[in-house]
Chain A
Amino acid sequence: MAKQILDALAAKFAHAVERTESNFGDEVAWIKRENLVEVAKWLRDEQGFAFPVFCTCIDRLDWKPIGLPPSEHWNESKPRFEIAYQLRSLKNQRIRLKVAVTEADPRVQSLAELWPAFNWQERETFDMYGIRFDGHPDLRRIYLYEEFVGYPLRKDYPKEKRQPLVRRDDLILNPLKKEVR
C-alpha cells in the first residue's frame, strides 16, 4: 500500500522523479530540483501528506560505504548534498523527498510557504550545511551567531575547530532593530 504512493508519484510526475526506493518502511523519491515545489504541493493537496516531519541535508563528501563497490562511493562528479524532506499523510504513510544539489550551487526552492514548519527547519539546514533555500521568508542562521564562518555539519568542517566570536559591523544583529528605531 505504501508503495502505491511512489507509483502514483512516478506516474504523475514522470519527468520530475529521478528514482524511487523503499527502505525500512520509508518511501524515498528523488525529485529534480526544479520540480520540488509542484510535487510537494500535489502530495499535500491531493494525496493528504499534510504533516511535515523534518527537513535536513546529507553531506556525501566522505561517503565510502563499507561492503559496497567503489562506484557507490562519492566522487567529485556526483552532487555533494542531498536535501531530505520527510512528510506524513493523514493515513500515516511516510514519504521522503530527496533533492540532490551540487557544492557549487547548493540551492533549492523553499517549502516554507507550503508548510510553516519548514521555516525553522530550513533555517537550521542553512545554518548547518549552507544550503540556500530560494523563496524562504527569513533565511538567517538559527543556532549559531551571524558572524560564524563556515557550516559546521559539513564533513570538511573539522570537529575540533574553534571560532572566537568576532563582531562584524556589516551585520545587522537584530533584525527588528531597523524597523523599530
Chain B
Amino acid sequence: MSDTVTLTIDGQQVTVPKGTNVLEAARSLGNDISAFCYHPGLPIVAQCRQCLVSIEKNPKLQPSCQQVCGDGMVVHTKDPQSTLARKQQLEFTLLNHPIDCPICDKAGECTLQKLYFDHDNENSRVDVPKVHKDKVVDVGPHIVLDQERCILCSRCIRTCDEVAGQHQLEFANRGDHEVLTTAPGEQLDNPYSINTVDVCPVGALTAKDFRFTMRAWELEATPSICNGCGTGCNIEIHHKQGRAWRLVPRHNPDVNKYWMCDEGRFTYHALREQRLASALVDGLPSTWDRAVTNAAKRLGVFLKDASQIGVVLSAQHSNEDNFALAQLAKQWGVKQVYLAGRPPVPARADGKLRVADVNPNTSGAKAIAEALGLGVVQAFQIDASAASTLRALVVLGDTFTGLTEGKLREIDLITISAFERGPVAHAKVALPAAAWAENAGTVTNVQGRVQRMHAAFAPPGNAIPAWEAIVRLAHATGVKLAWTHAREVFKDMTAAVPAWKELTWAREARPLALRFAGSRG
C-alpha cells in the first residue's frame, strides 16, 4: 500500500498524499477552484456548492472539497458543465447580497469579490428587490454581525466549535430568510472570537477593533510572531506608513495552525503607547552620544568589581537583544544575570493556544544565558542581600519589578527599552529601543521553537534595535562587539547555543501590498 495517489486534473497528472481532497490537489497545481465554505483548518461540510467539478464515471457533479482523491481519478474543472454550475451558484449567492462594497470593511480582501472577479464576471440578470435582514447586530464584545452580507457558509460556526470549543453561533430560519445568529442564551464571547472574522469570506462578521479604521487593500503585510504570550503564534502585521492596524494569524501547522487569540490581536495597540523616542539622561532628552557616554561613565566606576553591576535580560525582547546584552555582561565579568518579564497569568492557560507565560521569549533568554555560562535568576523579586550589593543595574525592557522604586532611584540605573514605563521612569540613562514589530530578530516559544520576526516599519524618533544600543553601550565601556546587523548577532548566537546550531537566518521579508496579493479571502 503506497501513501500517495495519482490522479489527473484537467489533463495534468498530480500525485498527492492519500486522503487529500480534490480541491487541495487542484490548488497544488495552481488551479484555484472557487469555494466559500471550505477552509483547510475546519471540518468539511460541502454546503456552499461552489467547488463543484466533474469527475469521470460519476454522473453528477461533485463538491471537490469533500471528494477525496482516488487513484486514477480523472477530474475536469474547466469543462462547460461544472463551470456553468459554479457560475450559476455564484449568481445565486450574489442574488441577495447588498451593494455594500464601498462601506464594507472586507472589500478588497473579500472572497466573494475575488471569486466573482476571477470566475464569473457576468452582469446581473435579475431585477427584483433584495431580501433585507438585520444589519449591525452586536453579537459579542469584539464582533459585529451584518446578516445581509452573510452567504451562509458556516465557517464561523465551525470555527467557534473547533477552535474555541464553544457552540456560540447558529443558523436560524429557512430559504432566503435563513440568517446567522447567536445560539440561544449565548454571545460570541470566546477568547478566539475574532478568528471568525478572518474566516468570514464576506463582510458579515467584522471586528470592532478594526471596523472603519483602515481600508484593507491599502495595508501591507509583514510576517512576524505574536508578542502576547509564550506560544508565539505566527502572525502578519498589517501596517501602513509606520503604523500597525491589525494583527492576523499566519498559517503554521506546528504552532498555531490558522488561528490566534483575541488578546494577542490587540497587542499592537501598545506599540503606540508610552513610547520612548529619544535617549534620556536624568529624565531629560539627550543625544545618543551623550547618553551612551554618560552611561559608560557611570558603569566604569564599578567595572573593576562586576559583582556590583546587575544585568537584567528581558523575556519580552528578541534572542538577539538578549544575546547581545548577555555577551556584554560576560565581557564585563558579570557572573549571573536576572531575567525580567511580565508575571505569569495561570488563568490564561486553556490547553489550546493560550499559555500562562505572557512573555514571548522566556525560554530563549534562559537558553542564551545558560549557553554563555551565566546564572539566571527570575527577577520578580530580588532578595535583599543580593540587592544590597548592587550599585548599578543595566535593564533590558520595561518589565523589571525586582527592586523597590527607592532602591532604583538610589543606584545607577541604565535602561534599554522601547517604552517609557516601569523602571525607565527612574533611570539615570534611558536608551530608546525598537519595539517588537520594528525589530528583525528571533524569539523562542515555550516549545523551544526559534521563530523569525521581521521588521514591519521603522521605530519612532531616535530609537534603534536594542542589540544595536547594547553594541553602542559596549563600545563606550571599552568592550568590542563587532555586529552591524541582526544577522551577525544571530550567527554568533547560533554558534554559541548548542541547540540552535542548525538554524539559518532567513532573507528579510518585504512588506506585501495586500491589494496586489491576488486578493485573499
Contacts and interface: CB of A to CB of B under 8 A. Distances in A.
Interface of A: 62, 66-70, 72, 76, 155-156, 158
Contacts of A66: 30, 32, 518
Contacts of A156: 507-508, 510
B28 interface: yes
A72 B507 CA distance: 19
B508 A67 contact: no
Given A69-B29, A156-B507, 18 more contacts: A62-B510, A66-B30, A66-B32, A66-B518, A67-B30, A67-B31, A67-B32, A68-B30, A69-B28, A69-B30, A70-B28, A70-B30, A72-B30, A76-B507, A155-B510, A156-B510, A158-B510, A158-B511
16 contacts: A66-B30, A66-B32, A67-B31, A67-B32, A68-B30, A69-B29, A69-B30, A70-B28, A70-B30, A72-B30, A76-B507, A155-B510, A156-B507, A156-B508, A156-B510, A158-B510
B509 to A, nearest CB: 10
Interface SS of B by simple majority: loop
Contacts of A158: 510-511
Contacts of B29: 69
Nearest to B506: A76
Interface SS of A by simple majority: loop
Nearest to B518: A66
A158 B509 CA distance: 11
A38 B32 CA distance: 43
A106 to B, nearest CB: 16
Interface in B323-362: none
The 8 A-B residue pairs with the shortest CB-CB distance in the complex, in nearest-first order = A69-B30, A68-B30, A66-B518, A69-B29, A67-B30, A156-B510, A69-B28, A70-B28
A66 B436 CA distance: 32
Contacts of B518: 66
Query: Residue among A69, A70, A72, A156 with the most chain B CB within 10 A?
Result: A69
Interface in B472-507: 507
A66 to B, nearest CB: 5
A63 to B, nearest CB: 13
Nearest to B29: A69
B52 to A, nearest CB: 20
A66 B517 CA distance: 9
A133 to B, nearest CB: 25
A156 B507 CA distance: 10
Nearest to A68: B30
B42 to A, nearest CB: 22
